Amino acid sequence: MSLYKNFQFSIEATSGGARAGILKTPHGDVHTPAFIFCATKAATRVATPQVLREEGTEIILANTYHLMLQPTADVVEQQGGLQQFTGWRGPMLTDSGGFQIFSMGHGHVADEIKGRRTGKNEKSLLKITEDGATFRSYVDGRKITLTPEDAMDIQRKLGADLVVVLDECTPFNVDKAYTQKSLYMTNRWAKRCLTHFEKNDTGKQALYGIVQGGIYEDLRKESVEFLNGENFFAHAIGGSLGQNREQMYDVVRFTAQYLRKDRPVHLLGIGGIRDIWEHASQGIDTFDCVHPTRLARHGGALTVNNKERINLPNARYRNDSRPIDEHCTCYTCRNFSRSYLHHLVRTGEPLAHSLLSIHNIHFMNTLMRTVRQSILENTFEETKKEWLQRLEEPVGEK
Amino acid sequence: MSLYKNFQFSIEATSGGARAGILKTPHGDVHTPAFIFCATKAATRVATPQVLREEGTEIILANTYHLMLQPTADVVEQQGGLQQFTGWRGPMLTDSGGFQIFSMGHGHVADEIKGRRTGKNEKSLLKITEDGATFRSYVDGRKITLTPEDAMDIQRKLGADLVVVLDECTPFNVDKAYTQKSLYMTNRWAKRCLTHFEKNDTGKQALYGIVQGGIYEDLRKESVEFLNGENFFAHAIGGSLGQNREQMYDVVRFTAQYLRKDRPVHLLGIGGIRDIWEHASQGIDTFDCVHPTRLARHGGALTVNNKERINLPNARYRNDSRPIDEHCTCYTCRNFSRSYLHHLVRTGEPLAHSLLSIHNIHFMNTLMRTVRQSILENTFEETKKEWLQRLEEPVGEK
């Protein structure tokens, strides 16, 4: 275990199935359960590192797929790695690039994986072989093959603390036979990643293995048992989680139960308020999702009601002098009215995007601190119940 | 003069024709020469009030034309006025709405007024009569007449400290006869504005008269003599300043010489680095221009060279680890490389716009403090000469 000597995950408390921990990295600590904000192309769209910090953020992630194409891993390495490049000096995770390769290949994989069919197929994914995945760059049209070893080398150059194995991310609409075959290749890729990672270890990174197996409990169990026996620092749950919320809760539940308890568990791409409460109770330690920052771009502010948001473009906010949330202490809620935000969104002022991002980032960090605190105080179940009740309230009543 | 009892303009020092002053308003002091940033639709596009302050801003302006259409002056008034609405608690100016009415009417007035011909004519300006200007709203197609009295009432509701009379902003491509006829109507409008302003005075606003007269010295002189005799708090130089930089310097020079020295003088719509040094030497106290924030949107950072900027999308910055300006102390230059900014601009990340705005705002405020300091130390001419020399250096040498 000396592979991860500069990293540590310790569990401070549990409450039911939920756990509060500390994930130590060379760039600082992450208090879990935690939300990891997406800085897809090495920027969280509009929030500066200062804003991220001020609003309580401890960790962000960037996407290897985008960065390997532009500005390239070599440029990021020459610029001192992602933390130097982006000015974010805290803990950081990169994914393997796999998700986007398969996403662009299968049309919108976010839709596919979540079971929503779309007609799109960009065909940028050219082939998947035992060697790796070949795709066409959306930047310059070049044909690129990404092998498990490449994924490790590229992430080493990018320099995030937490890195992830290359996996085939199977969409919803494949059958069990394909899912199983794919899982076995993903496992072989995971071994290759680990071997390559160990060979070039610098002590500055820790490796996540990814659970695949789609919606099939036996395959998920098989995947987990494989990962539990390998020298990964942590695990991430990926792949299709089914067609709806109920199925997702079910898939994560039967997957998480088999995972070793001494390693952190990340759930890829999930970030709804209800979802976080549910999955925290299943033992998930970290989450990521573009939702909070993407919602901001579309004029939405996270709030606790049955839509999990209010939509500022709505005419009802035109002359509403209240902040988004009277109890929120974010910069936006301390300084600006719904009326002003409505005006900014309506006139297309980019400040709307910034101010709503600030609120949504603050909201997610506050939510995670609430979840964590309730675990530490062993009041998780009551607090969860109370939140789920508040999440039944219609928007109109606010 | 009790009309402006809550306002004051005092000249602390002069150096050649340049002057350093303090403009006191109910929302705070402005140290002149100063640059007024454009918060066109009640937002400087991406900069929060906190960022504006941190980077040294003392005053911003908003455009009556846009705000009267959306969110409307009534909403702004009901929300407590612009300073409450926007969260900018410092000094603020609104224009009369005239510039945009004529701008939209004559095609792009910014081009027209500066003597650049364009083929565009949106025809939103329906008619100009002695009563006022009638135009079509770009928001909902409504026909709206703006009279001088309306311009005062609307600006009263918006609530900025400094407000401006309604004038006809004559474009470059009109003859002297039209310019003269227009000037006389502008003067009658100015009197109506002043009468209406005095009648409804609340002590919270101060009124600017606008000098018109195009490129004709005798008309500019006549305009100034009229304004000097009326009870305005300050003067702004508007209208066409000619076809090129030399003509502009000439028009402002022969206009400014006639203006009373005890009132602040604003130059509308000008904000180049050379221009500020030249016009400061002619006695201009405040400037405004969309340039610094608009340039940021297009990937440009203000720097001292013969282009007055560097363009971050340029491939030469791809792997350049230096900040925009090694001597700059703005948040962007303290934290980010040209390489990162290049990446953000190339990938269309909106954070590029924010970070470049921060630099450009800081740059303009630093420039204005340098101008001011050199006046206080009576080294204006040498400092100006030195800056104009640095402005000869080609970008490539940087």
Note whether B58 and B175 are same-domain residues. Answer: yes
Longest Cα separation, chain B:
62
Residue B311 φ/ψ region, left for φ over 0, alpha for ψ in the -120 to 50 degree band, beta for the rest: beta
- The ipTM value here is 0.93
Same domain, B318 and B259: no
Residue showing tokens 């990926």: A238
Model pLDDT for residues B36-81, shown as the tens digit of each residue: 999 999 999 999 999 999 999 999 999 999 999 999 999 999 999 9
Out of A75, A337, A346, name the one closest to residue B70 (CB).
Answer: A346
Is residue A236 included in any domain, yes or no?
A: yes
Q: Is residue A319 part of a domain?
A: yes
Residue B398 falls inside a structural domain: no
Which residue range forms the structural domain that includes residue B63? 2-289
Are residue B364 and residue B282 in the same domain, yes or no? Answer: no
The distance of A283 to chain B (nearest Cα, Å) reads 34
The chain-wide mean pLDDT, for chain B, equals 94
Cβ <8 Å between B343 and A70: yes
Residue A52 falls within a domain, yes or no?
yes
A351 touches chain B (CB under 8 A): yes
The reply to whether B26 touches chain A by the CB within 8 Å rule is no
Tell me: do B311 and B221 sit in the same domain: no
Pairing of strands B206-211, B162-164: parallel
CA distance A46 to chain B (A): 4
The conformation of residue A24, written as its DSSP 8-state character, comes to E
- Looking at the fold, whether A311 and A258 belong to one and the same domain comes out as no
pLDDT of B79: 98
Could you read off the pLDDT of B327-376 as tens digits, one per residue? 999 999 999 999 999 999 999 999 999 999 999 999 999 999 999 999 99
Residue B324 contacts A, CB cutoff 8 Å: no
pLDDT at A125: 87
List the single range of A125-129, A329-333, B17-21, B154-158 with lowest mean pLDDT. Answer: A125-129
Is a pLDDT exceeding 50 seen at residue B174?
Answer: yes
Q: Which of A289, A323, A346 is the last residue of a domain?
A: A289
Residue B324 has pLDDT above 90, yes or no: yes
- Which residues of A are less than 8 Å from B353 in CB distance? 350
Q: Is A202 on the interface with B (CB under 8 A)?
A: no
DSSP string, A271-330: --HHHHHHHHHTT--EEEESHHHHHHHTTEE--SSTTSSEETTSGGGTT--S-S-TT--S
Same domain, A66 and A126: yes
pLDDT tens per residue, range B237-277: 999 999 999 999 999 999 999 999 999 999 999 999 999 99
B142 and B208 housed in the same domain: yes
- Give domain status of residue A116, yes or no: yes
H/E stretch holding A51 reads: helix A49-54
Q: Is residue A294 part of a domain?
A: no
In this predicted structure, what is the pLDDT of residue B109?
47
* Whole-number pLDDT of residue A102: 85
What pLDDT is recorded for position B118? 47
Catalytic-labelled residue, pool B95, B150, B161, B167: B95
**Where a domain ends, among B268, B289, B310?**
B289
Over residues B91-113, mean pLDDT: 75
How far does the CA of residue B299 sit from the closest CA of chain A (Å)?
Answer: 15
**Both A103 and A124 in a single domain?**
yes
Cβ-based contacts of B355 with chain A (< 8 Å) = 48
C-alpha distances out from residue A256 to A211, A246, B27, B366, Å: 10, 15, 58, 56
Classify each residue of A376-390 as buried b or exposed e, where b means 16 or more C-beta atoms within 10 Å of its C-beta: eeeebeebbeebeee
Residue B24, min C-alpha distance to chain A (Å) = 25
pLDDT in tens, B279-309: 999 999 999 999 999 999 999 999 999 999 9
Q: Do A71 and B339 touch (CB under 8 A)?
A: yes
- How many domains does the structure of chain A reveal? 2
Any chain A CB within 8 A of the CB of B73?
A: no
pLDDT at B120: 46
The per-residue pLDDT string of chain A (398 residues; one tens digit each, 9 = 90 and over) reads: 489 999 999 999 999 999 999 999 999 999 999 999 999 999 999 999 999 999 999 999 999 999 999 999 999 999 999 999 999 999 999 999 888 888 777 655 455 455 554 444 456 888 999 999 999 998 999 999 999 999 999 999 999 999 999 999 887 788 999 999 999 999 999 999 999 999 999 999 999 999 999 999 999 999 999 999 999 999 999 999 999 999 999 999 999 999 999 999 999 999 999 999 999 999 999 999 999 999 999 999 999 999 999 999 999 999 999 999 999 999 999 999 999 999 999 999 999 999 999 999 999 999 999 999 999 999 999 999 999 999 999 997 44
Same domain? B86 vs B206? yes
* A266, A308: one domain: no
B384 within some domain: yes
- Chain B residues with CB under 8 Å of A353 CB are 350
Question: Residue B121: which pLDDT band, with cuts at 50, 70 and 90?
Answer: very low
Residue B218 is among the residues annotated as catalytic for this protein: no
What is the pLDDT, as a whole number, of residue A393? 94
Where among B289, B322, B349 does a domain terminate?
Answer: B289
pLDDT score, position B78: 98
Residue B115 pLDDT > 60, yes or no?
A: no
Q: Which residue has the higher pLDDT, B173 or A185?
A: A185
Strands of the sheet containing B28-32, edge to edge, are B8-15, B18-25, B28-32
Query: Does residue A321 belong to the interface with chain B, where contact is any CB pair within 8 Å?
Result: yes
Q: Quote the pLDDT of residue B107.
A: 53
CB–CB of B351 and A87 under 8 A?
no
| Residue A125: inside a domain | yes
A368 and A274 in a single domain? The answer is: no
**Per-residue CA distances from A396 to A76, A340, B3, B75 (Å):** 47, 19, 47, 22
Test the A interface: residue of B65, B332, B351, B356 with most A CBs within 10 Å: B351
Note whether A84 and A176 are same-domain residues.
yes
- Cβ atoms of A112 and A171 within 8 Å: the answer is yes
Give the HSE-up count for residue A119: Cα atoms under 13 Å, Cβ half-sphere.
Answer: 0
Helix, strand or coil, per DSSP, at residue A248: helix
CATH number of the domain enclosing A63? 3.20.20.105
